Amino acid sequence: MSVIAGVTRTNCLFRLHEASIKKEEIVDFLKALKAYLKQPLLVIWDGLKAHRSRLVREYLDSLNGHIQIAFLPPYAPDMNPVEYLWAWLKRHAMANYCPKNLSELHITAHNKLKSAQKRPSIITACWMQGYAVVMS
């Protein structure tokens, strides 16, 4: 199971997938972000190869600047607030969790991430951790 997510100043937005995240899932997620947030976006990405794919670039180019992209430096996951969301999910929300099957894992991960959306302190902590790394 894979998860694609974005962190705004006050929320986390995500989608779960049964397979790895590829360029098609990235475009679908960007479309969903654009529809949900309804405002120009700055997306800050890590170096995932699919982020730089032709399909993603063509989609972004078709938006006339509605979504702008910036890339984190290579090998800098500690600057990415989404990485701290994953750390919270793995080390706190689902620590020592052993699902019976993939379906149960999917449901539990979805519910835990939904709970993070209702806890602004988690989102703030994700940003603060990344910011602390940048400032050090």
Class of 2-135 per CATH? alpha beta
Predicted local confidence at residue 130, as pLDDT: 82
Q: What predicted TM-score, i.e. pTM, was given to this entire model?
A: 0.88
User: Residue 105: phi, psi to the nearest 5?
Assistant: -60, -45
Could you tell me what percent of the chain has a pLDDT over 90?
A: 82
- What single letter denotes the amino acid at residue 16? L
Could you tell me what percent of the chain has a pLDDT over 70?
A: 100
Whether residue 116 contacts residue 123, with contact meaning beta carbons closer than 8 Å, is answered with yes
Strand blocks (E) in 1-136: 2-7, 12-17, 41-45, 67-71
Can you tell me the mean pLDDT for 132-136?
A: 76
Kindly tell me if the per-residue pLDDT of 134 is higher than 80. no
Residue written as tokens 């500690």? 78
Spell out the residues 6+ positions from residue 24 whose beta carbon is closer than 8 angstroms to its own.
Answer: 55
Beta strand 67-71 with 41-45: parallel, antiparallel or unpaired? parallel
Kindly tell me if the per-residue pLDDT of 27 is higher than 80. yes
Predicted local confidence at residue 128, as pLDDT: 92
Predicted local confidence at residue 47, as pLDDT: 83
Q: Average model confidence (pLDDT) for the chain?
A: 93
